[in-house]
Structure 1
Amino acid sequence: MNYWIGVASKNHVELGVAGGFCQLCHGKSAPLNRMKAGDWLIYYAPKQSLKSKEPCQEFIALGQILPGEAYPFEMAPGFTPDRKDIDFLKNIQSVPLKAVAELPLWQEYRSRLRFGHFQIPEQLFSFIASGMKKEV
């Protein structure tokens, strides 16, 4: 089992959560193909929307990759990104980036946010995920 961070605007992540899919790096298949069934993905949203400068800077979604391959999905004429199915956890709360920014473990990974998708160690995943899970 592997643990991943995906980076996308908040409104795009919300579309994926509602539809049960993940889409990374403007629809490229390579990051999706690196993730296997059972892997976990945390989405980080730097902005509220792709075309906005309004910051979000929070970890906002958490899900486990479902079996199956990446598949193309036509979102608009001439734009067919790849997606992968994912089971997003319900009843979660966002975690601000500043909550993990000072962790020594995070220091190695913070510069990777600009890449859109990267693997993280289980310890870092567990720290972020535990902050996202609401008590029921």
Structure 2
Amino acid sequence: MTRHRIAVASADHVRRGLKGGFMQVCHGKIAPLNRIEAGDHVAYYSPTEILGSKDGLQSFTAIGTVKTGDPYNFDMGNGFVPSRRDVDWDEAHTASIRPLLDKLEFTAGRPNWGAQLRFGLLQISAGDFALIEAAVKNKTAP
């Protein structure tokens, strides 16, 4: 059964994954990646453009489908060896979450909607994913 997820990372980190065809979550931890299966859909939410900044980007920055294969480690140097999953990324553009806040099930009516995203990976409904996909692909929402 296909599941739909939001992963969280700064936009500059998401761009690295887009270039390399992979995703990382939770500062490279493997456990969250083990919950994802091939065929699952993932959208990246980027609270900021650059990790640690306060620029308030608050946008969806990538969308794709997880490829077959297990999570794997990748040596980025200086002792940092994060876990990754390969993803087939779709063509998409940055789309602010703001116009969707009242429409998405996981945010509607929640003043502190961002709190649930701080864990780095969130399962969402197919309906919410369709709204996000429409936003990042400039389509009419379902």
Under TM normalisation by the shorter chain, which class is it? over 0.9
Aligned to 1:79: 80
CA contact (8 A) 1:8 1:43 kept: yes
CA deviations over 1:15-46 (Å, ceiling 9, x no partner): 00010000000000011111100000000000
Q: Identify the residue that residue 5 of structure 2 maps to in structure 1.
A: 4
Count of paired positions: 134
Structure 2, unpaired ranges of 5+: none
One-letter identity of the residue aligned with 1:27 = G
- % identical equivalent positions: 39
Point out the structure with the larger helix share: 1
Structure with greater strand percent? 1
Runs of 4+ in 1 over 2 A off after TM superposition: 106-111
Q: Deviations over 1:97-131 (max 9, x none)?
A: 10211226133683311111010010100111111
Q: Do 1:63 and 1:88's aligned partners in 2 also have CA atoms closer than 8 Å?
A: yes
Change (3 A) 1:103 1:80: same
The letter of the residue matching 1:67 is T
Partner of 2:102: 102
Unaligned runs of 5+ in 1: none
Structure 1 counterpart SS, 2:47: strand
1:14 aligns with 2:15: yes
Map of 1:48 onto structure 2: 49
Q: Matches of 1:37 and 1:106 in 2, distance apart?
A: 23
